[in-house]
Structure 1
Amino acid sequence: MLIDASFGFEMETFEFLNIGQVHGFPKIMGVLTQLDSFKHNRQLKKTKKQLKHRFWTEVYLVAKLFYLSGMVHGEYQNQEIHNLGCYITVMKYRLLTWQTSHPYILADRMEDLTNPEDIRTKCDWGRRFRRE
């Protein structure tokens, strides 16, 4: 989960976490970006601590949170990316009992393509509204 540290948690972040909770929280980790936008080290430490504790509150205690300090010449620092990649390759996923025992689907968007005239003529509630 990618979090912009200069802005903090957005509504979409909480919606994503809610979806994760409903599905039994698969292994989740956070990545804080835009840390180079902080001018003072004290403010950076305070923000990192606040976001870490908020992340732990929303996910679970000691959930892994990575810090990407900033971009140099349009790229993140090699050591930070290396550490992130190493963690992703060795992390163990826990078996999700909810997911294996329930069918589910995740939809980003739904669009009804039914002809309104068909609904009006074929559905019972369409006839009821027409009479009234």
Structure 2
Amino acid sequence: MNGEGTAADAAGAADGLWRSVDDLWTWLEAASPVGGREGLLLRMLKLSEEVGEVAEAVIGAVGQNPRKGVTHTWDDVRAELCDVALTALVALRTLTPDARGTFESHVAGVARRSLGPPASGSDA
């Protein structure tokens, strides 16, 4: 094995990600003490909290606060970034049942604007 995954592996991983997003959204909807518009706004604000935790981890990883010194690792930063990404996907799911389609379409648009159109034709 050469360490490269197949397209089926990637699709399976993506399916698992979006299943987890849906499961977390379902759990949050059932467990949330605040609903309606206020609950929606709080779900969006959760992103700011998570981004703040990334900042705290970066500051801690470089020891920027002389009173505290080094309090975090770059593994902590990576974990906090994952929390931001997951929180954003769950927030997106809160706004649309087709979070996956919305996200994939947006990523394709950003890639087109940034990288140009995909190469036409394939020799394979």
TM-score range (shorter-chain normalised) is under 0.3
TM-score, normalization by structure 2:
0.25
Larger relative strand fraction: 1
Tell me which structure has the larger Cα radius of gyration.
Answer: 1
TM-score of the aligned structures, taking structure 1 as reference length: 0.23
